Amino acid sequence: MTTLTKTEDAPAPTGSDAFLSVRDLRVQFSTEDGAVKAVDGLSFDLERGKTLGIVGESGSGKSVTNLTVLGLHNPTTATIDGEIVLDGQELLTASESEMEKLRGNKMAMIFQDSLTALSPYYTVGRQISEPFRKHTGASKKEARDRAIEMLGKVGIPHPKQRVDDYPHQFSGGMRQRAMIAMSLVCNPELLIADEPTTALDVTVQAQILDLLKDLQQEFGSAIIMITHDLGVVANMADDILVMYAGRAVERGSTRQVLKTPEHPYTWGLLSSMPRLNSDVDEPLLPIPGSPPSLLNPPSGCPFHPRCAFTDKVTDGRCSGERPVLPVGRGAACHLTADQKQQVFIETIQPRLG
Amino acid sequence: MSILRSRTAQATVAAAAVGALALTGCSSGSKDSNKPAGKSQEEAKAQAKPVAMGTAQDSVGPAKPVAGAKKGGTVQVYQEADFSHLDPGQIYVSDAGMLSKLLYRGLTTYTENEKGDQTVVGDLATDPGKSSDGGKTWTFTLKDGIKDQNGHVITSADIRHSIERLYDPFLTDGPTYIQQWLSGAGTKYREAYKGPYKGKHLPKTVLDTPDDKTITFHFLEAHTDVPQALAMAAYSVVPEKTDTKQKYDQSPVATGPYKVASYKSGKSLSLVRNDNWDEKTDPLRHAYVDGWNIEFNHDKADQTKTILADRGDAKNAIMFTGQVDATQLQKITSDKAVMKRTIQGYAPYVWQLNFNMDRVKDKKIRDAISLAMPATSVARADGGAYGGDAATSLMSPTTPGYDAKYDPFNRAKKPNGDIEAAKKLIKEAGAEGKKLVYAYANTPVRTTQANLIINNLEKIGLDIQKKEVDQATWYEQMGKVKNGFDLYMTGWGQDWADGNTVFPPSFDGAQIQDGASNYSHTNDEHVNSELGRIQKIADADQRASEYAKLSKYISEKINPAAPIYYTKVFQIAGSNVGGLRYGQVVSYTDPTTIYLKK
Amino acid sequence: MLRFLIRRVSGAALILLLISAFTFFMYFAIPQDPATLACGKNCTPDALAIIHKNLGLDDPVPLQYWHYLSGIFAGRDFGVGHCDAPCFGVSFRNNQMVWDTIMDRLPLTLSLTFGGLVVFLFVGLGAGLMAARYRGTWLDKIFSGGSLVLSSFQIYFLGPIVLGIFVYSTGWLDKPKYVPITQDPGGWFMGLLIPWIVMATIFTANYTRMSRSSMIEQLQEEHVRAAKAKGMSSRYVFYRYAWRGSVIPIITILGMDIGALLSGGMVTELTFGLAGFGRLARDSVILKDLPVLMGVMIISAAFIIICNIVVDAMYAVVDPRVRLS
């Protein structure tokens, strides 16, 4: 490393066949107290038919990133830099009307809480058919048939009757299915699922995840799965991006990240997750401290105030120098590869059982 | 009549008073100036002339034309509140009194020359009546060709009916002079006869109609001012066939030059010509304009501003009982052209501070308080410099016998109270620190006035306890014999220009009872006997001078009430209004002479 | 829906009954004989007794109340003639049927209220929507700042100023007056223009602020964002999704305002010298005219209750989650 002062990540691999490519994305919100760097130099790629899991605590910038992809931030309060290319089209410079044509059509989003994300004032059918009519120019009748078809697809019994129901007449799981139907109505090639199952019962959770998988196979969509639940990503994702304080701190295939995590933060996440096969009296190990203020992020590695391994790094680099996320598989950490392996095997793995 | 005696008047004054309060600071006169703004008392003296008794010749129509008058157009009137009644039998107050001049005719009425001299003349009758039997019997003969709005010819039976219906219990608001003179004082007359609606008439020995044209009143005692009493609106004719009793109040039958075209209670009243009225029979009324459009719900400020702005309908507007709002006084009095559109005159009211004679027994204290009255300030508090003048005596400038030079309490030199002289008297009486209860109505004007008065009374060493009384029940509470108060202001105005309608109601000892208007409870043998004697004097001039003497006696020897101020009238009209003058009889803009220039 | 109506209407009837009883008995609890108000110069105890009898005040109060109530349903006979049901009695003051008087005054008040309503709803909601849509821009600042200033005005303050300028000084407009719309629509419009504008100015300000804040709140709702994520245009999302939710608090306030305006547009009527229901209410109180007072109280209460029922029904129309039962 010669560029010690460099604070950005190096560009991620420029996979030419990437369907979605995010480069050095920066999103800042101006508040009365100053600028909040919600996303600070994020890059990743996603291929068609693949699922990328984005993992992190609340406020790590996962949701902001995805709303930015959809172009849903208010341009007057958010400053956005970088590059987002979807199937060869630059999104950040696209006009609002171009974005409107893409949203709900080529790319769609599943929101976390269907109770708030569906309007209580319109029937489920109407809310599903609306984007279909808009993007395909279908007639009311066609759109309604499509809505019924979609409701059936996501597993809602008697879709013909339920299509005229209002969201509050659906159970939580049904409603989430309806919302998925709404997102998929135009066969989107990119589906962003923002904690799609957090608000649901565990059993329903599994059904919904299965449904998403099935649908992905059918439509061939790329999925970004935002979650703080590693279990969900383990189940769904091909690749994982771990975010902390608006930056990617670890990247790799799901297997790599879950089996041989390299970043102390990822270790923390894994250790703090309960396991079915662990002893009852074995304590969970939460990550000490709290997520950093994005208004005034820590110097150097943003995780260093909470990191248990800074003493292994010399010259105070943890607090003085921002670690770089390497291209491809890797983590943004000053620990050497050997140190990482040693710490993981000696301290972390036993905890994970 | 006492001010505020009707329910409507109470509401109106309460509302108007809000505006009046604000203006005390705006009146232009400096504190020590006693020169009254507006019409001087010298001019007002004309008002105090006794009413002359007219002849048959005076009673003939048509009325002497107003110079330059022309016919046509509709006059606009802005009024604060609706008339409380249209049924003449219920009319006692000035607002409906104005209206009655246009709608109704009675046996007698007043004419008024350019100088304001009043003559009582026959209206429906050929003359103001012939008395016989020493004044106990009065006979009237109807003119020919008098028709009501339906074309019905008015006969003596209609006159009899009009008097008789006043005995029926449903009519409560009108004056009771004639009824009591015919059938007994108090409510005795109501017991004697219950009204004509069940087919019974008053006995011929009381009210007789020997033929279609003649009606004879047989009074219990001799009365000199029967023609004046009969000229009151309440004694106007109500044609028998078309009397609808209670419903008459909404749709009365006119005999005057106008009739009701539409009446929307609380909103508007419009009058159109009554084609059956014949000017040749009418000695008083001109009917130059084709109609009247009276709109209610315009407060004093609104009336003034609208007429002052002089646009559209307001060019043809006059005020009935409204007054120039004091906030606009400056604008109006400083503009000569506008001043030409105004009229001024004394209203017949005298405001006095009554002493409860049962409680304030030391005459020295009463004299001291009378001397200490801040008369001018109190007057200004009620309508500014044009609202009233300091009163020197208990007699109004409008009452015959009034003497402007008579000033027992030194108002001319000390318009805001002779504190030194009063203090001296209090000392002599040994009354320093004496506790007295001052009652006042809870309106802004009365409250301001109370504060002015109490301030002076405290200066002379009295200990005054303020007692606020609900405006709506003010006269009821003051009218109680055992009212529990020492000092309270009341206003009284004549029913017609004669001491007969002022002194007996206010100072007759026989009148001390709950609800009566002898608010000070004056009961003096000399006064009582004088009242009896003077009322019987037939000659109006002589009567006037006797009342003047009696007034002086009351103030000097008894002093039951301190005169405070005389109210004045200041009204404005639109620029297109001609024939504008102050009417002595109505004490407002004379509605009978109005015409529109264009 | 039917059950809702039956339940609410019967509830309303009960409330009206309670209000009428309360008013009636409270009136007689005031230590003041209404007859004294009709009794002037000749107010001897005997004269008072006659008036007392004329006004029907000799009966025990509960009996009087019973007569009153039965009159509403069955009509009554008075000296002035038969009073058909609904008979609200005859004014103490001018012998007019109270029902006729109220019916005579209502058209003005209805015109005033609903005319003003059209103005302040259109302008107020419009301005509020624009301010919310262009939040933070100069347009928003003008609208929200202006409405803050205007909403602190009062009709009795603004009214005379507007009258002073447009009527008394320049004469551009006529004094406000009421002409029935059936008689002369143009005159009706011109006659009420000033009151509408003044009334609407003040209400507009409130509705601008309310509609703006309600809209801003709605725009932050997740379903609004979700609708955008579906690709719906921001106009569509604004007017369909956000607006729909933002009207609910407005309906609540509007219901209260309409009820208040219908039952007590007193300030407006007094300011502009108009004789409507509000002035009737005020006069009846000042004149202690019980029958009119009762009529006014009952009709006002009925307005407020009806507005409440309509508001509740409106909730159900706007928000499918609300069930009428």
Q: Do you find a cis peptide bond into B62, omega within 30 degrees of 0? A: yes
Cα A268 from Cα A264, distance rounded (Å): 6
Cβ neighbours of C43 in B, within 8 Å: 475-476, 479, 515
Residues A283-312: pLDDT tens digits? 667 788 888 888 888 888 888 888 888 888
Chain C interface mutation, best of A70, A109, A121, highest count of C Cβ atoms under 10 Å: A121
Q: What is the mean pLDDT of residues B514-528?
A: 90
Chain A interface mutation, best of C135, C138, C224, C230, highest count of A Cβ atoms under 10 Å: C230
The residue among A248, A202, A264, A214 whose CA lies nearest residue A52 is A248
| Cα B417-B421-B425 angle, rounded to 5 deg | 120
Q: In which region does residue B73 sit, left (phi positive, over 0), alpha (psi from -120 to 50) or beta (all else)? A: left
Contact B391, B352 (CB under 8 A): yes
C302 versus A58: the higher-pLDDT residue is C302
Cα B69 from Cα C92, distance rounded (Å): 42
Residue B56 has pLDDT above 90, yes or no: yes
Q: Measured over all CA atoms, what is the biggest interatomic distance in chain A, rounded to whole angstroms?
A: 69
Other C-beta atoms closer than 10 Å to the C-beta of B511 total 18
CA A232 to chain centre: 11
Rg (CA), chain B: 24
Nearest to A121 among C222, C231, C319 (CB): C319
Chain B interface mutation, best of C175, C268, C292, highest count of B Cβ atoms under 10 Å: C175
Q: Which two tokens stand for residue B112?
A: 């008024």
The residue among A218, A219, A236 whose CA lies nearest residue A227 is A236
Cβ neighbours of A130 in C, within 8 Å: 227, 230, 232
| Cα B339-B343-B347 angle, rounded to 5 deg | 140
| Cα C199-C202-C208 angle, rounded to 5 deg | 125
Residue B12 has pLDDT above 60, yes or no: no
Q: Which two tokens stand for residue B162?
A: 């009009």
Segment 64-93 of chain C within 8 Å of chain B by CB: 78-81, 93
The percentage of residues in chain A with a pLDDT greater than 90, rounded to a whole number, is: 25
Output the pLDDT for position B161: 97
* C317 close contact with A: CB closer than 8 A: no
The residue among A113, A63, A114, A107 whose CA lies nearest residue A85 is A107
Output the pLDDT for position C261: 84
Of A24-28, A312-316, B438-442, B463-467, the poorest mean pLDDT is in A312-316
> CB distance B187–C38 less than 8 Å?
no
* C235 close contact with A: CB closer than 8 A: no
The residue among B300, B330, B232, B304 whose CA lies nearest residue B445 is B300
> CB distance C223–A109 less than 8 Å?
no
Cα A104 from Cα A132, distance rounded (Å): 8
The residue among A70, A108, A114 whose CA lies nearest residue A92 is A70
Q: Which CATH class is domain C99-318?
A: mainly alpha
Output the pLDDT for position B356: 96
The set of chains that have 3 or more CB pairs under 8 A with A is C
The residue among B565, B562, B388 whose CA lies nearest residue B488 is B562
Cα C100 from Cα C103, distance rounded (Å): 5
CA C234 to chain centre: 37
Output the pLDDT for position B561: 96
Chain B interface mutation, best of C50, C83, C92, C95, highest count of B Cβ atoms under 10 Å: C95
* C230 close contact with A: CB closer than 8 A: yes
User: Which amino acid is located at B18 in the chain?
Assistant: V
Output the pLDDT for position B37: 52
The residue among A302, A204, A207 whose CA lies nearest residue A246 is A302
Q: In which region does residue A313 sit, left (phi positive, over 0), alpha (psi from -120 to 50) or beta (all else)? A: beta
Residues C276-301: pLDDT tens digits? 888 888 888 887 888 898 999 898 89
C234-240 CB contacts, 8 Å cutoff, 24+ apart: C234/A96, C238/C129, C238/C133, C240/A122
Element of type H or E holding C127: helix C98-133
Output the pLDDT for position C137: 87
Residues B352-375: pLDDT tens digits? 999 999 999 999 999 999 999 999
Q: Which residue has the tokens 């009655």?
A: B100
Residue B167 has pLDDT above 90, yes or no: yes
**How does residue B5 score in pLDDT terms, banded at 50, 70 and 90?**
very low
- Nearest chain C Cα distance for residue A72, angstroms: 7
Residues B451-492: pLDDT tens digits? 999 999 999 999 999 999 887 778 878 888 899 999 999 988
What lies within 8 Å, CB to CB, of A3 at 6+ separation is none
Crossing angle of helices B363-372 and B444-459, in 10° steps, is: 120
Residue A9 has pLDDT above 50, yes or no: no
Output the pLDDT for position A345: 87
**Mean pLDDT, rounded, of chain B:** 88
C105 versus A58: the higher-pLDDT residue is C105
* C288 close contact with B: CB closer than 8 A: yes
Rg (CA), chain C: 24
Q: What is the mean pLDDT of residues C248-266?
A: 85
Segment 165-194 of chain B within 8 Å of chain C by CB: 169-170, 172-173, 175-176, 186-187, 190
User: Which amino acid is located at A159 in the chain?
Assistant: P
Q: Which residue of A has its CA nearest to C133?
A: A74
Cα B527 from Cα B508, distance rounded (Å): 7
Report DSSP state, residue B106: B
Cα B420 from Cα B428, distance rounded (Å): 12
> CB distance A76–C244 less than 8 Å?
no
Other C-beta atoms closer than 10 Å to the C-beta of C136 total 11
**How does residue B69 score in pLDDT terms, banded at 50, 70 and 90?**
very high
- Nearest chain C Cα distance for residue B272, angstroms: 20
Q: Which two tokens stand for residue A128?
A: 């599903």
Element of type H or E holding B301: helix B300-309
CA C298 to chain centre: 13
Output the pLDDT for position B150: 96
Residue B500 has pLDDT above 50, yes or no: yes
Burial class (CB in 10 A: 0-12, 13-18, 19+), A194: buried
Dihedral of CA A340/A345/A346/A349: which sign? positive
> CB distance B11–C95 less than 8 Å?
no
Residues B203-218: pLDDT tens digits? 999 999 999 999 999 9
- Would the pTM of this model clear 0.90, i.e. be above it? no
The residue among C220, C215, C162, C151 whose CA lies nearest residue C193 is C162
- Nearest chain C Cα distance for residue A119, angstroms: 5
B40 versus B33: the higher-pLDDT residue is B40
Output the pLDDT for position B18: 31
Other C-beta atoms closer than 10 Å to the C-beta of A202 total 8
**Domain boundaries in chain C?**
18-87, 99-318
- Nearest chain C Cα distance for residue B572, angstroms: 15
HSE of B199, CA atoms in CB hemisphere, 13 A: 0
Contact A272, A229 (CB under 8 A): no
* C245 close contact with A: CB closer than 8 A: yes
- Nearest chain C Cα distance for residue A314, angstroms: 47
Output the pLDDT for position B451: 95
Q: Concatenate the DSSP letters of all residues of B222-238 into one string.
A: --S-HHHHHTSGGGB--
Going across the sheet that includes B52-53, the strands are B52-53, B118-122, B108-112
CB environment A112-147: b (16+ within 10 A), e (fewer): bbbbbbbbbbbbbbbbbbbbbbbbeeeeeeebbbbb
Output the pLDDT for position A73: 79
Q: What is the mean pLDDT of residues B383-403?
A: 89
Contact A224, A257 (CB under 8 A): no
* C23 close contact with B: CB closer than 8 A: no
* C171 close contact with B: CB closer than 8 A: yes
B151 versus C48: the higher-pLDDT residue is B151
Cβ neighbours of C81 in B, within 8 Å: 246-247
Output the pLDDT for position A353: 63
* Domains (range + CATH), chain B: 17-46+346-569 (3.10.105.10)
The set of chains that have 3 or more CB pairs under 8 A with B is C
Q: Which two tokens stand for residue B340?
A: 């030409």
**How does residue B288 score in pLDDT terms, banded at 50, 70 and 90?**
very high
**How does residue B25 score in pLDDT terms, banded at 50, 70 and 90?**
very low
Dihedrals phi, psi of A53, to nearest 5 degrees: -95, 125
**Mean pLDDT, rounded, of chain A:** 84
Cβ neighbours of C288 in B, within 8 Å: 472
> CB distance C32–B472 less than 8 Å?
yes
Cβ neighbours of B331 in C, within 8 Å: none
* A69 close contact with C: CB closer than 8 A: no
Residue B26 has pLDDT above 70, yes or no: no
**How does residue B22 score in pLDDT terms, banded at 50, 70 and 90?**
very low
**How does residue A3 score in pLDDT terms, banded at 50, 70 and 90?**
very low
**How does residue B15 score in pLDDT terms, banded at 50, 70 and 90?**
very low
Output the pLDDT for position C43: 65
- Give whole-number Cα distances, A194 to A25, A156, A228, B353, C68, in Å: 18, 21, 10, 87, 67
> CB distance B515–C48 less than 8 Å?
yes
Nearest to C80 among B6, B14, B247 (CB): B247
**Domain boundaries in chain A?**
255-352
> CB distance C94–B475 less than 8 Å?
no
Residues A79-135: pLDDT tens digits? 898 999 998 899 988 888 899 999 989 999 998 888 889 999 999 999 999 999 999
Other C-beta atoms closer than 10 Å to the C-beta of B340 total 10
| β-bridge pairing A239-244 and A222-227 | unpaired
E runs forming strands in chain C:
76-78, 81-83
What lies within 8 Å, CB to CB, of B62 at 6+ separation is B279, B280, B282, B283, B286
* C67 close contact with A: CB closer than 8 A: no
Residue B141 has pLDDT above 50, yes or no: yes
Q: What is the mean pLDDT of residues B409-413?
A: 92
Of A145-159, A192-206, B559-573, C209-223, the poorest mean pLDDT is in A192-206
User: How many residues does this entry show for chain A?
Assistant: 353
Other C-beta atoms closer than 10 Å to the C-beta of B429 total 16
Output the pLDDT for position B299: 86
